[in-house]
Amino acid sequence: MHIINELGAGGAERVMTRIACHNTQNAGPDIPRQIVVSLMDEGVYGADLIDAGVELHCLGMKSGIRDLPGAIIGLTRLMRKAKPDAIMSWLYHSDFIATLAATLSGCGAKRLAWNIRCAEMNLEQYGRSTRIVLGLLAKLSGRPAVIAANSHAGQQHHIKCGYHPKKWAYLPNGFNTEEWHPDPGAKNRLCKELGITPSKHLIGMVARKDLAKDHATLFDALGLLRAKGYDAHLVLIGHNTEELTFADALASHVSALGLRRDVAKLVPAFDIAVLASSFGEGFPNVIGEAMACGVPAIGNDVGDVADILGGTGKTVPQRSPEKLAEAIKELLTEDSDSHTYRKMASRKRIIDHYSLDAMNARYLALWDGLAGNRPIPDFEFPGGINHPE
């Protein structure tokens, strides 16, 4: 049973949906049945889960604490009815509610894993309830059987926040390289949709409108590039990106497409993919997805971005439009052979290190451990801590 705050267009929601659908569509005697519980509504990914045959329950919780008791009661009832062998909660509020419901239902926290998806959160940018919940989770962090994180940076940040689990587990993201793949015709199609010439350099960023994503730095970098004579056009994909504001001088050089369901067909059109996030990232999906499409990527030095890139792209300091513009310029001006090699190396790194099958195998082994069929496996972090004792 997966418990998640909502099913909006975020990275955690995308990975959870990817895992639940994959295992439902490849069901067998060794593959556990997948149940997804959204504390809120069906959101963006509910339809995908239902189409794949995943059992989905939505508790209808609204923002704020008023609906908290009802969500706890509703989840407790679901657990008592389903009697899940393994429970995995995704994101802070779900961790808190799932811990209470697992105890009240009789399933017990011994079957529970928290799944951390972020690092170095700037809590001043989020609501008071998030700060309160994080403090409570630090105190409760010895309750679940294991706390998983998709990045070394996420593990280290939460240790600083006071997390003290029985056991840590490293669960890096994985990607379906049949879905995310190079497409030589993608740029012409996207340029036709946007009404621009394919001779332009397409710089793409897939990220919702959020202060953590720091679109302002990206806009400044674009301005610097164009001032130096580079015919760069910025493509933004993500929830509410059409509401972003920027200088009038950039108006004809930015296409904000908002939330799209065909992102895997758009990303291969990019000449370069960028992630300008200034905080909060652990293992950003968008870097891996771009690399799987053979698109060289540039990311701010947050979370595990440098480890994911593995030398195939570039990292730059946070909130540094000058450094970001310089990194983009370097990739745009490298010779053809070097650029081709970079594209091939980017995709190969995802295939070799971050495949969907490798990710799913770790999840299956962890769930099997939570169910008591085997010891909970040791999934060591690169340079991290697995056994807090």
Domain ranges of the chain: 2-174+356-370, 186-353
2-174+356-370 and 186-353 share one fold: yes
Six-digit token string for 364: 């299956």
**Ranges of H-type helices in 33-145:** 46-51, 68-82, 92-105, 128-140
pLDDT higher than threshold 60 for residue 258: yes
Give pLDDT, residue 382. Answer: 82
pLDDT higher than threshold 60 for residue 237: yes
Give pLDDT, residue 384. Answer: 53
**Ranges of H-type helices in 270-383:** 285-292, 305-309, 321-333, 336-353, 356-370
pLDDT per position as a tens digit, 146-181: 999 999 999 999 999 999 999 999 999 999 999 999
Phi and psi, residue 249, nearest 5°: -65, -20
Give the other-Cβ count within 10 Å of 195's Cβ: 7
CATH of 2-174+356-370, one of 3.40.50.2000, 1.10.1240.10, 3.40.50.300, 3.40.50.720: 3.40.50.2000
What pTM was estimated for this model as a whole?
0.91
Rounded Cα distance, 135 and 77, in Å:
26
Q: How confident is the model at residue 385 (pLDDT cuts 50, 70, 90)?
A: low
Class of the CATH-defined domain 186-353 = alpha beta
